[in-house]
Amino acid sequence: MELNELKEFLDFKAEQYENPSFLEHDPIQLPHKFSRKEDIEIIGFLMATIAWGNRKSIINSGNKLMEIMGNSPHDFIMEYTKKKPFHFVHRTFNTDDLDFFFRSLHHMYKSSNLEYAFCGGDQNKDVKTAINQFRTEFLSIEHLSRSDKHVSNPQTQSACKRLIMYLRWMIRDSKKGVDFGIWKGMPPSELYIPLDVHTGNIARKLGMLKRKQNDWATNEELIEILRDFDPIDPAKYDFALFGLGAFEKF
């Protein structure tokens, strides 16, 4: 397939899948239950954190998170002291990890917020720098070392799929009814593609990737092509690549 044909094909598929029906079976449906910015970004961050494995299981775990937080994420975080015991497990993310995430979010929101943690300071920040900045702040409070693995690190060549997905949710325009567009500290042109088994495999089948592993270098290889296709909104192609893999088994 020639590059112009590939672009036309992916443009069509991105348009096909980026619509409100996408929410029906995707973890992003939970933050769509809220209208307040702080609620959206907090539950969005927690949903992105546990977004691995079966999507139905992820959503079920998200509903348990909502119950723990009394369906008021920001109020819960601002008042969090762990006086009320809770139990939570999603794959390797457990109660100790969630307690740390609640405590770190509480610490963050006492003086700032998630948007500033990622996007504050230099308005021309790239995604890698934004994730590094956030990770440094988020891990700054006391916690078990086991929780570090739940905050991906691009410095170790992690693809950071869940954090990149979260940034897409918060930054891309809401006009299609899927992403939120509530963060203005980073332009959509800087976003990457959340690289998972679906997007990676489809990109390879379409001849867009040479690298076999899904890591940070592969992120950069893929986004270079997608920015040629759409320099303003390259992350829209996540819907095309994911949809082709997850829904069409392309």
Asked if 34 and 43 touch (Cβ cutoff 8 Å), the reply is: yes
C-alpha span between 1 and 55 (Å, rounded): 31
The whole-number pLDDT of residue 250 equals 80
State the pTM of this model: 0.96
**Radius of gyration, CA atoms only, the chain:** 18
- What span, in angstroms and rounded, lies between the C-alpha atoms of 96 and 220? 34
User: In DSSP terms, which residues pair with 93 in a beta bridge?
Assistant: 90
Give pLDDT tens digits along the chain (250 positions): 789 999 999 999 999 999 999 999 999 999 999 999 999 999 999 999 999 988 999 999 999 999 999 999 999 999 998 777 899 999 999 999 999 999 999 999 999 999 999 998 766 679 999 999 999 999 999 999 999 999 999 999 999 999 999 999 999 999 999 999 999 999 999 999 999 988 999 999 999 999 999 999 999 999 999 999 999 999 999 999 999 998 988 8
Note the pLDDT of residue 249.
Answer: 81
User: What is the model's pLDDT at position 124?
Assistant: 63
- Residues near 216 by Cβ (< 8 Å), separated by ≥ 6? 128, 154, 157, 158, 159, 160
Q: Where are the domains of the chain?
A: 3-246
The token duo for 217 is 């270098």
Closest by CA position to 12, among listed 237, 177, 247: 237
CB contact set of 223 (below 8 Å; sequence gap of 6+): 192, 193, 234
Q: Where are the alpha helices (DSSP H) in the chain?
A: 3-17, 37-49, 55-68, 73-78, 95-111, 114-119, 127-138, 161-171, 197-205, 216-229, 237-246
Q: CA 146: distance to chain centroid?
A: 21
- Residues pairing with 90 in the sheet: 93
Torsion of CA 20, 73, 119, 109, to 10 degrees: 170
